[in-house]
Amino acid sequence: MSNETMTAAKDNKTLDIAAIREDFPILRRQVKGHPLVYFDNAATSQKPREVIDALVYYYTHLNANVHRGIHSLAEEATAAFEATRDAIRAFINAAHREEIIYTKGTTEGINLVAYTWGRKNLKAGDEVIISGMEHHSNIVPWQIVCEEQKAVLKVIPVNDQGELILDEYAKLLSEKTKMVAVVHVSNALGTVNPVKEIIRQAHDKGALTLIDGAQSSLHLDIDVQDLDCDFFVLSAHKMLGPTGAGALYGKKELLEAMPVFLGGGEMIKEVTFEKTTYNELPYKFEAGTPNIADFVAFKPAIDYINRLGKANIRRHEEELLDYATWNIKEIPGVKIIGEAREKASVLSFVIDGVHPQDVGILLDNKGIAVRTGHHCAEPLMNRFCIPGTIRASFAVYNTTEEIDRLMDGLKKAIKLLA
Amino acid sequence: MSETRPISEIEEEIIEEFALFDSWDDKYEYIIDLGKKLQPLDAVHKKDANKVKGCQSTVWLVADYKNGKVTYQAESDAVIVKGLISMLIRVLSGHTPDEILDADMDFINKIGMTSHLAQTRSNGLRAMVKQMKHYALAFKSLKFDV
Ligand SMILES: Cc1ncc(COP(=O)(O)O)c(C=O)c1O
């Protein structure tokens, strides 16, 4: 990162976006003969040079298996690999490093909880509450265990603005509720859910809580102790880091009481053919050789976010969202899907008489990357009676000039298609 | 609609038409235009059984077999897809099952469509061709049965 960027971050001033863009090599590429405009950040973010360099460095200097070897490479690789755990702990303010379980990402984290905690603790008639705006990753695992355990899945409804109806949530909660699993920020609508309040009410009924932080980790301050959530899941690739790496946070006493997930490798203490004893946290849940390089490269991503400062990132993203929202409302026939009072940098919309896919193809033809479709939230699309939306999701390296190009592209697409 | 010219000739004709366009803007404009002109599918055919799997947009495809020739009708809720369908129909409709099964459909590559559409969408295009060939295969076995 350049010095100017650093100073800007420290001073809590406006970020130097031009300097930040220099840190992301991919932003220099052309697509279909145009400079790339990348507005698919909710699907995966781009990676700064430090992250890419860390991957190369790892394979050129460190490559060894972790936790096992006695040689120098193994030790250095292990140190780098474990340093990321400390960085994640600090990033979400977990109380203990062993509360951070490495996963492939959000999806695996949720599955881990569903398969271990869920299978052990859910009994016939118990209830799990999710919300109407969940990603499939926070629906399907719960459906699977609920079916297995004869438990019941309940859904918090969503209002027309794309907010959770909390009165209805309160009605769903009862002594039967054992788990409330909700998304922090909706990938399809951008809604920021009042998770602290949701967690408090769940705890009042004695239920546990899981927060899907896939979309919030890059944009919002996360403090799992303040939230008091029991589980929190995130993915590195949505936070400027590599794919295939993520974390499950769980309260220590819960993780300790949970049965193991996958067997083999790192998760054992002692194996005989009669009996296996398991390793302690967090290794108990980390079977097999992990995705070492990507976890090593996850740390520079966290460091990068920390250097910019979440408040600064958020301020810039809010500007982008406001600018885009303001401008898109000028285009006839556009309807924004998701107008929650609290929103992260996602602009999801439909256009009268125009299929989202057609718009996506024409924007791509201009080098503008957006997402179209149901965004892995099919029940939510059904709620709004639409096949899908066009979604532009912004990150700290995006600019208002890029939004101008989006608006221009949209106007041209509509003219052709309508 | 009985097409007597060989499939390869129709493919060649489309390739030549596309060669006239200078830019992808023009190609898309043309495809969208074809899409808008595609004859709508009768509502009774728009049922789940006629949906082609593998497309982000919905595509319905039906086929008819008369006098040894297959004719296709299709529609989509997305207009670019409709334009592509219209080209596929233009190439394959009115031919015998054997001709259809033999068609390499290379014109899709040659007009640059597969490289220009994102992977998921060109998969959708492939799924459509596959489904059209399935119909041809089914009609072909029908022919042997009777
Ligand atoms: C809200 C939400 N939850 C879960 C996921 C799944 O994340 P991953 O694919 O990294 O496991 C995503 C990714 O789109 C998401 O947006």
pLDDT digits (tens, 9 = 90+) for A243-270: 999 999 999 999 999 999 998 877 888 8
Which of A32, A350, A351, A357 is the best residue to mutate to test the B interface, defined by the most B CB atoms within 10 Å of its own CB? A357
**% of chain A exceeding 70 in pLDDT:** 97
The C-alpha atoms of residue B46 and residue A209 are separated, in whole angstroms, by 43
Interchain contact, A365 vs B121, CB within 8 Å: no
Q: Check CB contact of B127 with chain A, cutoff 8 Å.
A: no
Mean pLDDT, chain A, rounded, equals 94
Other C-beta atoms closer than 10 Å to the C-beta of A132 total: 20
Q: Check CB contact of A378 with chain B, cutoff 8 Å.
A: no
Higher pLDDT, A376 or A232: A232
Closest among B67, B48, B54, B61 to B125, alpha carbons compared: B54
The pLDDT score that the predictor gives to residue A12 is 62
**% of chain B exceeding 70 in pLDDT:** 88
* A333 burial via Cβ count (<10 Å: 0-12, 13-18, 19+): exposed
Q: Check CB contact of A350 with chain B, cutoff 8 Å.
A: no
Give φ, ψ of B56 to 5 degrees.
-70, -35
If you write DSSP's letter for every residue of A366-380 in order, what string do you get?
Answer: TTEE-EEE-TT-HHH
The C-alpha atoms of residue A171 and residue A154 are separated, in whole angstroms, by 11
Q: What's the whole-number mean pLDDT along residues A366-372?
A: 96
Q: Which residue minimizes the CA distance to atom 16 of ligand 1?
A: A187
The C-alpha atoms of residue B73 and residue B93 are separated, in whole angstroms, by 9
Tell me how close the Cα of B113 comes to any Cα of chain A, in angstroms. Answer: 12
The pLDDT score that the predictor gives to residue B145 is 46
Contacts of B72 (CB under 8 A, 6+ apart): B61, B62, B63, B64, B88, B89, B92, B93, B132, B135
Q: Check CB contact of A362 with chain B, cutoff 8 Å.
A: yes
Return the amino acid letter for A191.
Answer: T
Nearest Cβ partner for A365 among B28, B58, B121:
B28
CB pairs under 8 A between A and B: 40
> String of b and e for A174-187 (b: at least 16 CB within 10 Å)?
eebbbbbbbbbbbb
Interchain contact, B57 vs A361, CB within 8 Å: no
3 state SS of B131 = helix
The C-alpha atoms of residue A14 and residue A313 are separated, in whole angstroms, by 9
Closest among A215, A218, A216, A213 to A240, alpha carbons compared: A218
Regarding the beta carbon of A212 and ligand 1, being less than 6 Å apart is answered: yes
The pLDDT score that the predictor gives to residue B143 is 56
Tell me how close the Cα of A11 comes to any Cα of chain B, in angstroms. Answer: 42
Q: What's the whole-number mean pLDDT along residues A41-65?
A: 97
Tell me how close the Cα of A363 comes to any Cα of chain B, in angstroms. Answer: 11
Which of A358, A411, A414 is the best residue to mutate to test the B interface, defined by the most B CB atoms within 10 Å of its own CB? A358
Contacts of B24 in chain A (CB under 8 A): 32, 365
Nearest 10 degrees: Cα torsion A45, A46, A48, A54: 90
The pLDDT score that the predictor gives to residue B100 is 96
Question: What is the distance in A from the centroid of ligand 1 to the CA of B88?
Answer: 36
The pLDDT score that the predictor gives to residue A376 is 84
The C-alpha atoms of residue A301 and residue A54 are separated, in whole angstroms, by 10
Regarding the beta carbon of A193 and ligand 1, being less than 6 Å apart is answered: no
Q: Looking at the predicted structure, is the pLDDT value of residue A301 above 90?
A: yes
The secondary structure element, H or E, covering residue A350 is strand A346-351
Q: Which residue minimizes the CA distance to atom 7 of ligand 1?
A: A106
The secondary structure element, H or E, covering residue A348 is strand A346-351
Q: What's the whole-number mean pLDDT along residues A206-235?
A: 98
Confidence of residue A43 (pLDDT cuts 50, 70, 90): very high
Higher pLDDT, A344 or B110: A344
The pLDDT score that the predictor gives to residue B53 is 74
Contact present, A85 and A79 (Cβ < 8 Å)? no
Strand A30-31 to A34-35 pairing: antiparallel
Higher pLDDT, B57 or A66: A66
| DSSP β-bridge partners for residue A154 | A129
Strand A334-336 to A127-131 pairing: unpaired
Higher pLDDT, B34 or B116: B34
Contacts of B56 in chain A (CB under 8 A): 357, 372-373, 388
The pLDDT score that the predictor gives to residue A48 is 98
Give φ, ψ of A174 to 5 degrees.
-160, 180
Ligand 1 atom closest to Cα of residue A235: 10
The pLDDT score that the predictor gives to residue B135 is 93
Residue B55 is a catalytic residue: yes
Q: What's the whole-number mean pLDDT along residues A361-366?
A: 95
The C-alpha atoms of residue A342 and residue A358 are separated, in whole angstroms, by 30
Question: What 8-state DSSP symbol labels residue A97?
Answer: G
Contact present, B69 and B17 (Cβ < 8 Å)? no
Contacts of B128 in chain A (CB under 8 A): none
Q: What is the pLDDT of residues A142-196, one digit of tens each?
A: 999 999 999 999 999 999 999 999 999 999 999 999 999 999 999 999 999 999 9
> Which range is least confidently modeled, A45-49, B92-96, B105-109, B113-117?
B113-117
Confidence of residue B54 (pLDDT cuts 50, 70, 90): low
Nearest Cβ partner for B32 among A32, A372, A417:
A417
The C-alpha atoms of residue A215 and residue B65 are separated, in whole angstroms, by 51
Residue of B nearest to A375 (CA): B56
Residue of B nearest to A417 (CA): B32
The C-alpha atoms of residue A53 and residue A296 are separated, in whole angstroms, by 11
Angle subtended at Cα B139 by Cα B137 and Cα B144, rounded to the nearest 5 degrees:
95
The pLDDT score that the predictor gives to residue A11 is 47
Confidence of residue B118 (pLDDT cuts 50, 70, 90): low
Relative orientation angle of helices A292-308 and A72-92, to the nearest 10 degrees:
40
Q: Looking at the predicted structure, is the pLDDT value of residue A128 above 60?
A: yes
The pLDDT score that the predictor gives to residue A91 is 98
The pLDDT score that the predictor gives to residue B132 is 94
Question: What is the distance in A from the centroid of ligand 1 to the CA of A267?
Answer: 26
Question: What 8-state DSSP symbol labels residue B51?
Answer: B
Strand A346-351 to A334-336 pairing: antiparallel
Regarding the beta carbon of A40 and ligand 1, being less than 6 Å apart is answered: no
Enter the tokens of residue A91: 């990033």
Contact present, A369 and A289 (Cβ < 8 Å)? no
Q: Which residue minimizes the CA distance to atom 14 of ligand 1?
A: A43
Question: What is the distance in A from the centroid of ligand 1 to the CA of A186?
Answer: 10
Q: Check CB contact of A351 with chain B, cutoff 8 Å.
A: no
List the catalytic residue out of B10, B31, B55, B87: B55
Q: Looking at the predicted structure, is the pLDDT value of residue A68 above 90?
A: no
Interchain contact, A361 vs B24, CB within 8 Å: no
The secondary structure element, H or E, covering residue A257 is helix A252-257
Enter the tokens of residue A108: 């695996």
Among A113, A131, A137, A376, name the best residue to mutate to test ligand 1's pocket (greatest count of ligand atoms within 8 A of Cβ): A137
